[in-house]
Amino acid sequence: MTFLELAETLEQTGAESVPPYRVEQIFSWISRGALSFDRMTDLPQAWRRELAGRFSIRGSRVSGRLDDPDGTSKLRFTLTDGAVIEAVLLASEKTGPDREPGRSYTACLSTQAGCPVGCVFCKTGSLGFLRNLDTFELTDQFLALSDLVRERNGGSCRISHIVVMGMGEPLLNLAALRKALAILCDPRGFGFSKRRITISTSGIRAGILELAEQGPEAELALSLTTAREDLRRRLMPGAGENSLEDLKEALKIYQEKTGRRITLEAVLLGGINTGAGDARALAAFAKGLKAAVNLIPWNPVPGLSFGGEKIREPPAAETGRFRRLLEQEGIQVTGRYRRGRGISGACGQLAGS
Ligand code: SAH
Ligand code: SF4
């Protein structure tokens, strides 16, 4: 529930009117990780009993956890209907201008159980699509990852960034995502900063336009993968309906409305989308947009193939050459983490295993 929904619900169910500071107390307790109403020691006993009888805090059960020596942890959640999803906690490196001293963390959240887009290089895509996640199933992921941070660092550390880059296509579940982010950004709760949230999409044109009009405010990353139309259609079957021309036009509208830079993500598939022609096409797509390109060498997923051949990770030399070709075209390029590989917690490896 958002703060307003919580206030209205308490108002409707309670016999007497609920003072706003009570709503704030409950909202704040939940944000600070309280798992039961019993813990809310500044509420009257009778209230706590009554609330416990009526409501539940968190509906998703953490049913598994894996820790990678590189600092990444992955949680598996078993949802009320038995669906299984995963969320990842990444230890941020102390680089970049907005990193605060000490370790901070990035939460990577899932928005769907499975994914309907069906990218051939992605483990989640190979699972098929089960359903959209509910708002509470999104906030539950964040809360459980926050528990993990508290457990590790005794309260001295926090999650500083959210990336909506886990399982599923966020722009196909935009209403639930919008509400979850509104809850997380509410200053009466977590007060999470909007500037530190990134949504990654496979490129849903209608969703990008809706984002421009109605938010949620966040950084946007587009998983371009390749700027060769025919190849993109084969690699990302469910995203291919949005032609590259339409997509670019939507991104331009988004940029005009929001003034934001965007990131173009390209997962590099050895020998498939890493040639000189691919680099030229990518650079041409990026031109005219305020965009940087983020290269992600493919994280291995056993059993995935394309055109009858096993997909393979590009060797470092192949990635390096591709990067230089883009830079020669004047494109700003960044490289992406491979962290979490030891626990199948890196990009494209999430399945709920
Ligand atoms: N569905 C959204 C967000 C989740 S996927 C999207 O596609 O953008 C997050 C990123 O992981 C995407 O950029 C995707 O291209 C990339 N990805 C998928 N499978 C991968 C793999 N096996 N190795 C590396 N990156 C992968
Ligand atoms: Fe879905 Fe993103 Fe995986 Fe494609 S890369 S199948 S859009 S989760």
Q: How far apart are the first and last CA of the chain?
A: 30
What does the chain come to in residues?
Answer: 353
Degrees, nearest 5: CA angle 175-123-308? 130
Looking at residue 48, its amino acid is R
Catalytic residue among 108, 115, 185, 347: 347
114 CA distance to ligand 2 centroid (A)? 9
Distance CA 146, CA 142 (A): 6
The predicted pLDDT at position 95 comes to 45
Using alpha carbons only, how large is the chain's radius of gyration in Å? 21
pLDDT in tens, 268-326: 999 999 999 999 999 999 999 999 999 999 999 999 999 999 999 999 999 999 999 99
Looking at residue 100, its amino acid is E
Task: Check pocket membership of 122 for ligand 1, CB cut-off 6 A.
Answer: yes
User: Is 115 annotated in the active site?
Assistant: no
Residue 242 neighbours by CB under 8 Å, 6+ apart: 203, 204, 205, 250
The predicted pLDDT at position 96 comes to 45
Compute how many other C-beta atoms are within 10 angstroms of the C-beta atom of residue 33.
16
DSSP 40-63: -TTS-HHHHHHHHHH--S---EEE
Of the residues 267, 304, 349, which should be mutated to test ligand 1's pocket, given the most ligand atoms within 8 Å of the CB? 267
Domain regions of the chain by residue span: 3-54, 61-343
Task: Check pocket membership of 226 for ligand 1, CB cut-off 6 A.
Answer: no
Task: Check pocket membership of 296 for ligand 1, CB cut-off 6 A.
Answer: yes
Return the C-alpha torsion angle 17, 18, 20, 22, nearest 10.
160
125 CA distance to ligand 2 centroid (A)? 5
Q: Whose atoms come closest to the Cα of 301: which ligand?
A: 1
The yes-or-no verdict on residue 234 having pLDDT over 50 is yes
Compute how many other C-beta atoms are within 10 angstroms of the C-beta atom of residue 4.
11
Beta bridge partners of 207: none
Q: What is the mean pLDDT of the chain?
A: 92
Q: Whose atoms come closest to the Cα of 266: which ligand?
A: 1
Asked if residue 198 lies in contact with residue 221, where contact means CB atoms within 8 angstroms, the answer is yes
Task: Check pocket membership of 304 for ligand 1, CB cut-off 6 A.
Answer: no
Identify the top-confidence range among 63-72, 73-82, 156-165: 73-82
Distance CA 212, CA 210 (A): 5
pLDDT above 70 covers a percentage of the chain that reads 95
Tokens 């003034």 correspond to 259
The yes-or-no verdict on residue 71 having pLDDT over 90 is no
CATH architecture designation of domain 61-343: Alpha-Beta Barrel (3.20)
Task: Check pocket membership of 299 for ligand 1, CB cut-off 6 A.
Answer: yes
Helix (H, G, I), strand (E, B) or coil at 333: strand
Asked if residue 207 lies in contact with residue 247, where contact means CB atoms within 8 angstroms, the answer is no
Tokens 């020596």 correspond to 69
* Region at 93 (left for phi over 0; alpha for psi -120 to 50; beta for the rest): beta
pLDDT in tens, 151-191: 887 766 789 999 999 999 999 999 999 999 999 999 999 99
pLDDT in tens, 121-136: 999 999 999 999 999 9
Is the pTM value of this prediction over 0.85?
yes
Catalytic residue among 86, 137, 169, 219: 86
For ligand 1, atom 8, name the residue with the nearest CA.
201
